[in-house]
Homo-oligomer: A and B are copies of this chain.
Amino acid sequence: MGPGPSDVDPRITGALARPTIGHLDPAFIQLMDEIKQLLQFAFQTSNELTLPISAPGSAGMEACFVNLLEAGDKAIICQNGVFGGRMKENVTRAGCEAIMVEDEWGSAVDTAKVAQAIAAHPDAKLLAFVHAETSTGVQSDAYALCQMASAAGMLSIVDTVTGLAGIEVDVDGWGADAVYSGTQKCLSCVPGLSPVTFSQAAVDVIQSRQTPVQSWFLDMNLVMGYWGGGAKRAYHHTAPINALYALHESLTILQEEGLEASWARHARNHEALKAGLETMGLQLVVEAASRLPQLNLVSIPDGVDDAALRTTLLQDYNLEIGAGLGALAGKVWRIGLMGYASNPGNVRLCLAALENTLIGQGLSLAGGKAVAAANAVYASAS
């Protein structure tokens, strides 16, 4: 129950362990086509260029930036946590200028500041932001931000590594141009792949570049020759066959449940966790309007030994919760309720383990009330 990787459904590890076949085998190529269609479903897009990058989310981020930017371009980057800073690194390493729009860690991206930056830099090629910040548990308004970018004639890049399948992701509805995610969060698949999708406008930019993409491995002109080539697929790199079996299974599970049902499940378990935490007197850090249900930022009460508590949870309860990052280190916990791990059993385990351990550290709590509060949420929802 950390910020990811989340628990993997045994159906998915079962798929993962199937016999490895060749990356040009006709049966595998059919699987690739199905993965593309399932990703289009998950992202809610008809974008033809929709596929999993054969590397973790950081490489998906890099694929978006190095394909859309050429040296000398300008990009507006929204930073309200760790991953906006990583976007800046991608921009500067591509020989481009990053215009930063900064917000407090724990707050959503301020659209008014973004509007100022767009007005001040109408020559920027793109606007990039994090839809679901894994470092802070905050969601920003992807629809508004993508619409602002396209109204200004800019492309948009959206990080929804933690968002996909946990909250609404609507790539076509937003009008987003390049969106990347990860497999190890609300898809509950193994880490190591990064689903991406590019709009036709983004593809046009990629295909009309003046200079080659600086990364051969991430050059979408080459990657699309393998993933999009129909019968005439060109070898680019050896795909991670077994991880793709797992992704196929995870997306099939998502399709069986349905997108809305998955979002509702994440919301319900968040409500139950929140009720239990508040019964213990613990506070959620992020304001209600921008909370991610799948990643809960909790203030650590005064006098609590953060590291000792997390060690106790891991050793005595086999339960991982996440530490704070950056300025939030030692001040918050990050409790994930992602994908397969977003379930009432985990909510109860986490509340009971936290309550017992806090009592063990000397806090005066009435044992058992937290789980009862969570159960009341489930009872009212059913």
Q: Is A216 an interface residue (CB 8 A)?
A: yes
A238 to B56, CA, bound (A): 7
Judging by beta carbons under 8 Å apart, are B192 and A54 in contact? yes
Q: Is A159 an interface residue (CB 8 A)?
A: no
Q: Kindly report how many copies of this chain are found in the complex they form together.
A: 2
Contacts A54-B56, A56-B54, A237-B56 known; A16 to B242 CB distance under 8 Å? yes
Contacts A17-B17, A22-B320, A62-B216 known; A190 to B89 CB distance under 8 Å? no
Which residues does chain B contribute within 8 Å of A59, judged by CB atoms?
A: 55, 59, 217, 237
Which residues does chain B contribute within 8 Å of A7, judged by CB atoms?
A: 19-20
B-facing residues in A230-272 (Cβ within 8 Å): 235-243
A40 to B12, CA, bound (A): 32
Q: Is A86 an interface residue (CB 8 A)?
A: yes
A242 to B10, CA, bound (A): 13
Which residues does chain B contribute within 8 Å of A57, judged by CB atoms?
A: 237-238
Between-chain CB contacts (< 8 Å), 24 pairs: A5-B21, A5-B22, A5-B23, A5-B241, A7-B20, A13-B16, A13-B19, A13-B242, A14-B17, A16-B17, A20-B191, A54-B55, A54-B56, A55-B217, A56-B238, A59-B59, A62-B215, A93-B214, A190-B240, A190-B243, A191-B239, A191-B241, A240-B243, A243-B243
Question: What residues make up the interface of A, taking CB atoms closer than 8 Å to B?
Answer: 2, 4-8, 13-14, 16-23, 25-26, 54-59, 62, 86, 89-90, 92-94, 182, 184, 190-192, 212-217, 235-243, 314, 320, 325
A56 to B235, CA, bound (A): 13
Which residues does chain B contribute within 8 Å of A54, judged by CB atoms?
A: 55-56, 192
Min CB distance A86 to B, Å, is 7
| CB-nearest residue of chain B to A237 | B58
A241 to B25, CA, bound (A): 26
| CB-nearest residue of chain B to A53 | B55
A334 to B159, CA, bound (A): 42
Judging by beta carbons under 8 Å apart, are A240 and B192 in contact? yes
Pairs A-B, 4 closest by C-beta atoms: A192-B240, A55-B55, A17-B17, A58-B237
A7 to B237, CA, bound (A): 18
Contacts A17-B16, A55-B55 known; A243 to B192 CB distance under 8 Å? yes
Min CB distance A308 to B, Å, is 14
A240 to B17, CA, bound (A): 15
Min CB distance A382 to B, Å, is 29
| CB-nearest residue of chain B to A86 | B216
| CB-nearest residue of chain B to A90 | B216
| CB-nearest residue of chain B to A82 | B235
A208 to B342, CA, bound (A): 46
A6 to B17, CA, bound (A): 14
| CB-nearest residue of chain B to A27 | B314
Which residues does chain B contribute within 8 Å of A243, judged by CB atoms?
A: 190, 192, 240, 242-243
A325 to B235, CA, bound (A): 10
Contacts A190-B242, A240-B192 known; A216 to B320 CB distance under 8 Å? no
Min CB distance A377 to B, Å, is 27
Our pick among B14, B86, B314 for the contact of A25 (Cβ within 8 Å) is B314
A143 to B90, CA, bound (A): 37
A350 to B239, CA, bound (A): 25
| 14 additional A-B residue pairs with CB within 8 Å, beyond A22-B320, A58-B216 | A13-B16, A13-B18, A25-B314, A54-B55, A55-B56, A58-B237, A62-B215, A62-B216, A182-B238, A191-B241, A192-B242, A214-B214, A215-B215, A242-B243
